[in-house]
Amino acid sequence: MNQTDLIEPAASAVLEEKELHESYFQLVWQRFKKSKPAIIGGLMLLMLVILAFFSDFFSPTDPVKLDMPASFTPPQRVHFVDSEGKFHLRPFTYLQVVELDPTTYAPQWTEDQSQRYHLRFFVKSWEYKLLGIIPSRWHLYGVEEGGTVYLLGTDKFGRDLWGRACRAGRISLTLSLFATFISVAVGSVLGVVSGYYGGGIDNVLQRFVEFVQSFPQLPLWMALAAIIPRTWDSFRVFVIMAIIFALLGWTVLAREVRGKVMAFRETDFILAAKEMGASDARIIFRHLYPNSLSHIIVVLTLTIPDIILAEAFLSFLGIGIQAPLTSWGLLMHDAQNLQTLGSHPWIMSPVIFIIIAVLGFNFLGDGLRDAADPYAIV
Amino acid sequence: MEASDNIILEVKDLKQYFPIHTGFLQRAVGYVRAVDGVSFFIRENEVLGLVGESGCGKTTTGRAILRLYDPTAGEIWYRKGNGERVEISHISQKEMKPLRREMRMIFQDPFSSLNPRLTVKDIIGEPLAIHGVARGKEMEDRVAELMRAVGLDPAYMRRYPHEFSGGQRQRIGLARTLSLSPRLIIADEPVSALDVSIQAQVLNLLQELQERLGLTLLFIAHDLSVVEHVSNRIAVMYVGKIVEMAETEEVLRHPLHPYTEALISAVPPADPDIRLHRIVLEGEVASPVHPPTGCIFHPRCRYAENVCGEEEPQLVEAEPDHYVSCHFAAELSLLGIGG
C-alpha cells in the first residue's frame, strides 16, 4: 500500500478478514529465517547449549571423579572393523594399554586388540542430577563393562575431556552471557542518557568512556583477577569475574547507543512526544530505547564472543575461573606447559568448542543485524 | 495591536536565537536569528496562514510558541478555555504541561513524526496516556472514535505506521493531535510532504474538522496557493520577521509590502493563457546570521531608497486590520493577484 490513500470499503473488508498485521518478533523471525549464516550460527549455539546443560547425559564417565591410571589417555578410536577385517554392525573400542618406553620412559599407548568392548546407547551408568534437580543414571552412550571410551582423550587426572568440555560450556557460556548483560545494561543506559541530554552530561560521560577505554585491557584484567581472594567460594568468583569482564566491555556499546540516540533525538517523533508533554523517562524508555533495541541486540551478540575469548585467555593463564569450576580456557590450562602439550596434543581439543561458540555468535549477530530492524524509517 | 476578547494567541516581539558553536571549547561565535521580533495574533476559530520561503523561521516560530524551544525574548499570551490569559514564553515545562492539552501541533513529515515501534493505537492514545485522560478500553474507544473522525478504519488500530501510506500517516498524526480536544493547533506544513492529489484531501479534512470542532489554526506553509485555500488571514514572513498581515483577500488583492507582491506574482494562475507579470527577486535571501541594516528586505527590494538601508520599519496598522512593515506602504501601489 503506497499511494492508496482512500480507504475503499471493498479493500478494507478483505483486509479485515485476515488482519495481517504482524508482531515485532514475527517480522524479525521472517527476515532472520532468510539468512543462512544466521540459522547455521543459531544451530551451532543451540548445540553447544544443549551439550552444556545436559553434559552429564552426554558423558559416559563422571567428569569430576579422578582416575589416575587413565591419565593422559589419547583419544580412542571407535571401530567398526576388527583386527581380523571382520565388519561389526555395532561400533566398539579396544582397551588402551600403556607401556613405558624402555629408553625414554615416555608412556606409549597401544590398543589391546584381544578384546572388543561394544558401544551401547542409552545406558545406565554413574548417577547425576539432571539440571541439578532430577536424579538420573541415564547416559547417551557407554561401553560394556571393563572397557573405556574417551572420544577426546583424558586430562592429567584421567577424566574424560569430552565430558569435561561439555560441562565447561556451562561456565563459559553463562559467564559470558552474564557479563554481556551487565555491560549492555550499563552501556545502553549511559549511552542513552549521554545522547539524550547532551551538553555537559554528554561531555563528562564521553570523557569517562575515553578514560576507561585508554586502560590496557589485559594487564587491568589480570590485576583485577589477581586481587580476588582465593578463599572465596566459586559462585562469588564467578560473579566477580563477570563484573570484571563487563567493566571494560560497556564502553563500545555506550558510544554506539549514544550515536544512535543523538540521531533519533532530532527526529520528529521525539519532538512530537515532547509536544505532547511526555516526561524524559517516557521519551527514553518508550521512544528512544525500543528504537535502539535492534542495535543493542546486535552489539550484544558481538560482545559475547569477545568475552568468551577473554575468559578463555585469563583462565588459560590460570587467573580466571578456578577449579572446581571448569571453563574451556581452564581445561587448556595444562597446555601451557610445552612439554605436556608436545606429548599430549589432544588436551587442546576444547579449542574446538571455543571456535564453534565464537563463530556461532558472529554468524548469529550478522543475521540479526539485518533482521532486527523491520520498521526502519523509510 | 488590538486587545479584543476573542484573541486566543498573541505573540509580541518574539525572538529565538540559536548560538553557533565552534572549536574545542564550544564557544558561541555568533547567533542565527531564526525568529527576530515576530508579532502577530490569532482570533478564536480563525485560520491564520503563516507563509514565507524555506528557512525564514516559520517552523521555529511555531515550535517556540509551543515551547519546544526556550524563546530568547518576547511574550506569548495564550487565552485558556476559561478565559484566563497566561504568558507562556518563560514558564517551566511542568507549568506548560496542562496547556499542552489545549495547544497542539501537526508535524510536517508523516514518516518521521510517528514512532515506527508503536502501533497506531499507542500513537493516537499516547497523549491520552500522558495526561491521564483515558486508559484501557476507554482509550481504545476514544482512539476508534478519533480514527473515524479523520477517515481511518478503526480496524487498523493494531497496525504499525509502516503499513500505511503518506496520506494515511498524516491522518494518524492528525488523530493524535485531536485526541485531547485541543483549542489551538499549530499546523507545521501539514501537507507539503504529500502528493498533490492527497494534499487536497488532507486540506479538506483539516478545514472540515476546523469548522466542526471550532478549532483555531496557525497554518504554516511555504506555498501561498495552499494557504489561500484554508486561511482567513495571512501573515507573510521574511528572514525572521513578519512583513505583512491582513485578511486573505486583502493580502492577495491589495498587498502593501514589495515582498508579498513578489510572492503573489510567483503563484501560477489556473488559466495558462493569463500572462504572468512575474517579479524575479534579485540577489540572495538575507542571512539570519548577519542580517542587513535597516529594512531586512531592502537589498532585494526594487522600490528601496536610502532610508530603507538605515532605518528599520515597524509593523504598523497601515489600513484597518492590515499590518505592514514598509516605509513606503502608503505610497506604493503594488500588484495583487490577477493584477
pLDDT digits (tens, 9 = 90+) for A92-111: 777 777 777 777 777 777 77
Rounded Cα–Cα distance for residues A254 and B221 (Å): 40
Contact B114 A269 (CB under 8 A): yes
Partner-chain residue, chosen from A24, A269, A286, that has the shortest CB–CB distance to B113: A269
Pairing mode of beta strands B322-324, B184-188: unpaired
Q: Which residues are bridge partners to A108 per DSSP?
A: A99
pLDDT of B82: 84
| Residue ranges of chain A whose pLDDT lies below 70 | 1-24, 373-378
Q: Which residues of chain B lie closer than 8 angstroms to A198, CB-CB?
A: none
Angle subtended at Cα B103 by Cα B163 and Cα B46, rounded to the nearest 5 degrees: 100
Report CA torsion sign: B329, B334, B337, B339.
positive
Residue B48 in this model has a pLDDT that exceeds 90: yes
- Interface check A276 vs B, CB under 8 A: yes
Place of cell 494567541: B9
Rounded Cα–Cα distance for residues A95 and A111 (Å): 6
Mapped onto helix, strand or coil, the DSSP state of residue B98 is helix
| The three three-digit cell numbers of residue A195, written as one number | 545522547
- Interface check A25 vs B, CB under 8 A: no
Cβ atoms of residues A319 and A226 within 8 Å: yes
Give ipTM to 2 decimals. Answer: 0.85
Pairing mode of beta strands B184-188, B103-106: parallel
Rounded Cα–Cα distance for residues A167 and A326 (Å): 7
- Could you please report the per-residue DSSP string of B116-130? TTS-HHHHHHHHHHH
Helix (H) or strand (E) holding A58: helix A55-58
Rounded Cα–Cα distance for residues A79 and A118 (Å): 9
Mean pLDDT of B27-53: 89
Q: How confident is the model at residue B236 (pLDDT cuts 50, 70, 90)?
A: very high
- Could you please report the per-residue DSSP string of B136-157? HHHHHHHHHHHHHHTT--GGGG
Distance from CA of A369 to the nearest CA of B (A): 17
First to last CA, chain A: 14
User: Which of the residue ranges B1-5, B169-173, B255-259 would you say has the lowest mean pLDDT?
Assistant: B1-5
Mean pLDDT computed over every residue of chain A: 79
* pLDDT tens-digit series, residues B78-119: 998 888 889 998 899 889 999 999 999 999 888 889 988 888
Rounded Cα–Cα distance for residues A26 and A375 (Å): 12
Contact A7 B167 (CB under 8 A): no
Top pLDDT among B333 and A40 is at A40
Top pLDDT among B45 and A95 is at B45
Contact A16 B165 (CB under 8 A): no
Contact A268 B113 (CB under 8 A): yes
Q: Which residues are bridge partners to A129 per DSSP?
A: A135
Cβ atoms of residues A138 and A113 within 8 Å: no
- Interface check B190 vs A, CB under 8 A: no
- Interface check A343 vs B, CB under 8 A: no
Closest CA to B184 of B74, B72, B41: B41
* pLDDT tens-digit series, residues B132-190: 888 888 899 999 999 999 989 998 888 888 888 888 999 999 999 999 999 999 999 88
pTM as predicted:
0.76
Residue A154: φ, ψ to 5°: -125, 165
Rounded Cα–Cα distance for residues A261 and A113 (Å): 68
pLDDT of A13: 40
Q: Which residues of chain A lie closer than 8 angstroms to B151, CB-CB?
A: 7
Closest CA to B301 of B260, B265, B333: B260
Distance from CA of B82 to the nearest CA of A (A): 21
- Interface check B18 vs A, CB under 8 A: no
Rounded Cα–Cα distance for residues B325 and A200 (Å): 42
Residue of B nearest to A4 (CA): B165
Cβ atoms of residues A131 and A57 within 8 Å: no
Longest dimension (CA), chain B: 68
| Burial of B18: CB neighbours in 10 Å, binned 0-12, 13-18, 19+ | middle
- Interface check B40 vs A, CB under 8 A: no
Choosing among B103, B104, B115, which should be mutated to test the A contact, i.e. which has the most A CBs within 10 A? B115
Place of cell 571494560: A248
pLDDT of B274: 67
Contact A271 B131 (CB under 8 A): no
Distance from CA of B108 to the nearest CA of A (A): 9
Half-sphere exposure of A203 (CA within 13 A, CB side): 5
Q: How confident is the model at residue B43 (pLDDT cuts 50, 70, 90)?
A: very high
Encoded amino acid at A29, one letter? W
Encoded amino acid at A267, one letter? T
pLDDT of A341: 74
Distance from CA of A365 to the nearest CA of B (A): 21
Contact B155 A290 (CB under 8 A): no
pLDDT of A7: 40
Cβ atoms of residues B231 and B42 within 8 Å: no
Closest CA to A249 of A204, A299, A202: A299
Place of cell 547567533: B31
pLDDT of A377: 43
Residues whose CB is less than 8 angstroms from the CB of residue B13 and which lie 6 or more positions away in sequence, other chains included: B37, B38, B39, B73, B74, B75
pLDDT of A171: 84
- Could you please report the per-residue DSSP string of B162-189? GGS-HHHHHHHHHHHHHTT--SEEEEES
Contact B68 A271 (CB under 8 A): yes
- Interface check B166 vs A, CB under 8 A: yes
